[in-house]
Amino acid sequence: MAEFRALNDDFAAIVRGSFNRQGLMHLLGATLEDVQPGYVHILLPFKEGLTQQHSYFHAGAITSVVDSACGYAALTLMPPDTEVLTIEYKVNFLAPARGEFAIARGHVLKPGRTVTVCQGEVLVVQDGIEKLCATMLATMISRQEFQEAV
Amino acid sequence: MAEFRALNDDFAAIVRGSFNRQGLMHLLGATLEDVQPGYVHILLPFKEGLTQQHSYFHAGAITSVVDSACGYAALTLMPPDTEVLTIEYKVNFLAPARGEFAIARGHVLKPGRTVTVCQGEVLVVQDGIEKLCATMLATMISRQEFQEAV
Amino acid sequence: MAEFRALNDDFAAIVRGSFNRQGLMHLLGATLEDVQPGYVHILLPFKEGLTQQHSYFHAGAITSVVDSACGYAALTLMPPDTEVLTIEYKVNFLAPARGEFAIARGHVLKPGRTVTVCQGEVLVVQDGIEKLCATMLATMISRQEFQEAV
Amino acid sequence: MAEFRALNDDFAAIVRGSFNRQGLMHLLGATLEDVQPGYVHILLPFKEGLTQQHSYFHAGAITSVVDSACGYAALTLMPPDTEVLTIEYKVNFLAPARGEFAIARGHVLKPGRTVTVCQGEVLVVQDGIEKLCATMLATMISRQEFQEAV
């Protein structure tokens, strides 16, 4: 992955503040583990409330955390006073998401003034073994642009 | 949308039983409203635990319910003793998802023996006014195939 | 599909002029059949140069025409002096694309000042029978925005 | 990217034979440059017949070559007597595709008995400078499965 430089010295505090306002991350039990320029890492411990019908992580739970990881990865590179929204994403599920916790990583692939493209991945960890279970390709936009644009 | 005929007389009971085993639907507060051959409708009332940082529905909450709607729409047309998993999906977010509740509808676009393609949509309702806020295009697979396939 | 009103009286002439400057449409042999506000229809007669290894239409040929149909559907609703570029798309292939010609239809799903979301479909016609063979979900942007944005 | 081992000693010859039967690759002027287990590299020199309305490579031309690269990357890991078809893909366009030639690379992300997930990228080269202009996430299936499945 490319190395990026943040335009905003407070990028990590801004991401942490915004993450804490996401009710869904609290409900799911997700925690924000690492914030770097162009990169965010979220942890999601397994619990019964996250499952689909076979007691794996539900695709929607996986998607929720990797969407937040990608959105905040985009936000780390945006100017001050910008907010970020998701335009669209695609997720491929590569293996049954069974494990004690999931790790979602969002990376910026191509930053932009208004549109930022991100790549995300989700690993599940079971008995200490990591397995790639999902990959995301996402398009993010600054909130100001989104509200005028759509 | 096309009209489909179920191969399995018990399709609605099977979908309801499987939905009830999805821990995530309970956690989110989603309810299964309607099940027809090739069509499923899920309701998601707004609550604080479903939000992103601007207090709209989080893209991940929206995606979770429309993924379940599409997966179960696929399952209604599958033979008995089949289970369904999501291979992949794409979602476009068309408007800020602000409202008292969200309605997720999954439709089968093209059924298949192993692979079924579905289209989903999410409406948000605020003060009685419905607004289309997301659209999904998804590929589903029978569980047996998925486990051998990936 | 929704009904739209064009902001630009010359939308059809602008789309036709732009289509004629697309070298790829000439190479493939595609023709622009219909242009309405929010809707474009392109025809692609079969020829050997459009095939994949089983002599069906190549997924790339199908995608090329439905991308142009969606992009121009978006352009019909944009203000004068705007040009359109594709940010991203997803295509699902629903059936082998075998036939004497393909019909690509692009519809605007949600117009926007800068970002427009479109839905496309491709039918193949063999012995007078139409079959849906592909569906596209695409995000378009005005060219000015794209150049500043990415 | 992961290292893979081919199940079929003749994988490279099979891919080359199949590529040569793709009429679209001839029409576009694409050439197959490298075939490794789980990896395929295709070259596309610029010509007028590949353009969109601003004389860049058309998104459809870019998609065509990276679809072939991903499909053949999947095929390198399949058993003998298997053929490959595209179920679906998503492409993000990251920069205007202007240059003397384009390089499409397809990688297998997750091989499977029937379903294989691939990642592709397209670089354009202008005045010796490479620029990433598109990224693909694709789902491939063996032809036998596809015909029964859809």
| Least CB–CB distance from D139: residue in B88, B112, B148 | B88
Task: Say whether pLDDT at D113 is over 90.
Answer: no
Is B117 touching C (CB cutoff 8 A)? yes
B55 CB near a chain D CB, below 8 Å? no
- With 70 as the cut, is the pLDDT of residue C5 above it? yes
pLDDT single digits (tens) B76-106: 999 988 889 999 999 999 999 999 999 999 9
The answer to whether residue D27 sits within a structural domain is yes
Q: With bands split at pLDDT 50, 70 and 90, how would you rate the model's confidence at B148? A: very low
Q: How far is CA C133 from the centre of its chain?
A: 15
Neighbours of B94 (CB within 10 A): 21
pLDDT band at B124 (very low <50, low <70, confident <90, very high): very high
Q: Select from C82, C88, C108 the residue whose CB has the most chain A CBs within 10 Å, as the one to mutate to test that interface.
A: C88
Candidates D92, D95, D132; nearest CB to A137: D92
Confidence of residue D81 (pLDDT cuts 50, 70, 90): confident
The answer to whether D58 contacts C24, with C-beta atoms less than 8 Å apart, is yes
Asked whether residue C6 is assigned to any structural domain, the reply reads: no
Residue D1: what pLDDT? Answer: 60
Judging contacts by C-beta atoms under 8 Å, the chain B residues touching residue D88 are 88, 117, 139
Check A137 against D137: CB less than 8 A apart.
yes
Chain A positions in Cβ-Cβ contact with residue D109 (cut-off 8 Å): 92, 94, 135
Contact B109 C117 (CB under 8 A): no
Residue D124 forms contact with C (CB below 8 Å)? no
- A9 touches C at CB < 8 Å: no
Q: CATH code at B106?
A: 3.10.129.10
Cα dihedral sign, A68-A72-A73-A78: positive
| pLDDT score of B145 more than 80 | no
The answer to whether the beta carbons of residues A104 and A41 sit under 8 Å apart is: yes
Using pLDDT thresholds of 50, 70 and 90, give the confidence band for residue A123.
Answer: very high
- Under DSSP, is residue A2 helix (H, G, I), strand (E, B) or coil? coil
Asked if the C-beta of A112 comes within 8 angstroms of chain C's C-beta atoms, the answer is yes
Tell me the per-residue pLDDT of A27-63, one tens digit each, with 9 for 90 and over.
999 999 999 999 999 999 999 999 999 999 999 999 9
Side-chain half-sphere CA neighbours of C110 within 13 A = 22
Q: Does A20 reach chain C within 8 Å, measured CB to CB?
A: no
The model's pLDDT over D90-105, given as tens digits with 9 standing for 90+, comes to 999 999 999 999 999 9
- Residue located via tokens 């439709």: B107
Taking the Cβ of residue D115 and every Cβ of chain B, the question of whether any pair is shorter than 8 Å is answered with yes
Q: Is the pLDDT of residue D146 over 90?
A: no
Q: What is the pLDDT of residue B1?
A: 60
Whether D53 sits inside 8 A of C89 (CB atoms) is no
Return d(Cα C86, Cα A72) in angstroms, integer. 24
Q: Is residue B6 part of a domain?
A: no
Tell me: pLDDT of C130 over 60. yes
Residue A70, classed as helix, strand or coil, is helix
- DSSP secondary structure, A106-137, as one string: EEEEE--SSEEEEEEEEEEEETTEEEEEEEEE
The yes-or-no verdict on residue A101 having pLDDT over 90 is yes
Domain assignment of residue C87, given as a range: 11-149
Of residues D51, D93, D150, nearest to C94 (C-beta): D150
The whole-angstrom separation of Cα D62 and Cα C7 is 31
Contact: C87, A113; criterion CB under 8 Å: no
| A81 token code pair | 């006073």
* Structural domain includes residue D6: no
- The amino acid that residue D7 corresponds to is L
| Nearest residue in chain C measured CA to CA from B137 | C137
> To the nearest 5 percent, what fractions of chain D are helix, strand and coil?
30, 40, 30
pLDDT, tens only, C47-103: 999 999 999 999 999 999 999 999 999 999 999 888 899 999 999 999 999 999 999
In terms of Cα–Cα distance, which of D20, D31, D135 is closest to C52? D20
Q: In the predicted model, what is the mean pLDDT of residues D112-136? A: 96
The answer to which of A26-30, B1-5, B50-54, D82-86 has the lowest mean pLDDT is B1-5
Interface membership of B108 toward A (CB under 8 Å): no
Residue C150 scores a pLDDT above 50:
no
Name the closest residue on chain D to residue A136, using Cα atoms.
D137
**D94 closest CB neighbour out of A90, A110, A135:** A110
Examine residue A74 and state whether it is found in any structural domain, yes or no.
yes
Among B109, B110, B137, the residue with its CB nearest the CB of C90 is B137
Which chain A residues are Cβ-neighbours of D94 within 8 angstroms? 109-110, 117
Binary contact (D58, C23; C-beta < 8 A): yes
On whether residue C4 sits in a domain, the answer given is no
Query: Taking the mean position of all CA atoms in its chain, how far away is CA D48?
Result: 21
Angle between helix C11-20 and helix C59-75 axes, rounded to 10 deg:
150
Q: What is the mean pLDDT of chain B?
A: 93
How far apart (Å, rounded) are the C-alpha atoms in residues B80 and D41?
A: 43
Comparing alpha-carbon positions, the chain B residue that sits nearest to D150 is B112
Using the Cβ of B95 and the Cβ atoms of chain A, whether some distance falls under 8 Å is answered with yes
CB pairs under 8 A between C and D: 133
Looking at residue B66, its pLDDT comes to: 98
The bridge status of strand C39-45 relative to strand B129-142 is unpaired
Is A105 or D142 the better-scoring residue by pLDDT?
A105
Q: Look at B115 and D141 and tell me if their CB atoms are within 8 Å.
A: yes
Cα(B112)–Cα(B57) distance, integer angstroms = 33
Counting the structural domains of chain B, the total is 1
Neighbours of chain A (3+ CB pairs under 8 A): B, C, D
Give the per-residue pLDDT at C148: 47
Q: Chain A closest CA to B25's CA: distance in Å?
A: 8
Query: Is residue B57 one of the residues assigned to a domain?
Result: yes
Nearest CA to D67 among A13, A127, C93?
A: C93
Q: How far apart are the CA of D11 and the nearest CA of chain C, in angstroms?
A: 16
Is A87–C145 a contact, with Cβ atoms under 8 angstroms apart? no
User: How close, in Å, is residue B94 to chain C by CA atoms?
Assistant: 7
- Closest residue in chain C to residue B139, using alpha carbons only: C92
Interface contact C132, partner B, CB < 8 A: yes
Strands C115-126 and A129-142: unpaired
Counting one residue from A and one from D, how many pairs have CB atoms under 8 Å apart? 33
Contact indicator for B35, B58 with CB cutoff of 8 Å? no
Residues of A with Cβ-Cβ distance to C84 under 8 angstroms: none
Predicted pLDDT at A149: 47
CA B126 to chain A, closest CA, distance in angstroms equals 17
Cα–Cα distance measured from residue A11 to residue C116, given in angstroms and rounded to the nearest whole number: 30
Structure tokens at C29: 């042999």
Residue B81 is predicted with a pLDDT of: 86
Three-state DSSP state, B100: coil
Residue D12 in this model has a pLDDT that exceeds 80: yes
Q: Do D114 and B139 touch (CB under 8 A)?
A: no
* D94–chain A Cβ distance below 8 A for any pair: yes
Q: What is the ipTM of this complex?
A: 0.94
pLDDT band at D150 (very low <50, low <70, confident <90, very high): very low
* B3 assigned to some structural domain: no
In whole angstroms, what is the distance from residue C29 CA to residue A127 CA? 57
Confidence of residue C149 (pLDDT cuts 50, 70, 90): very low
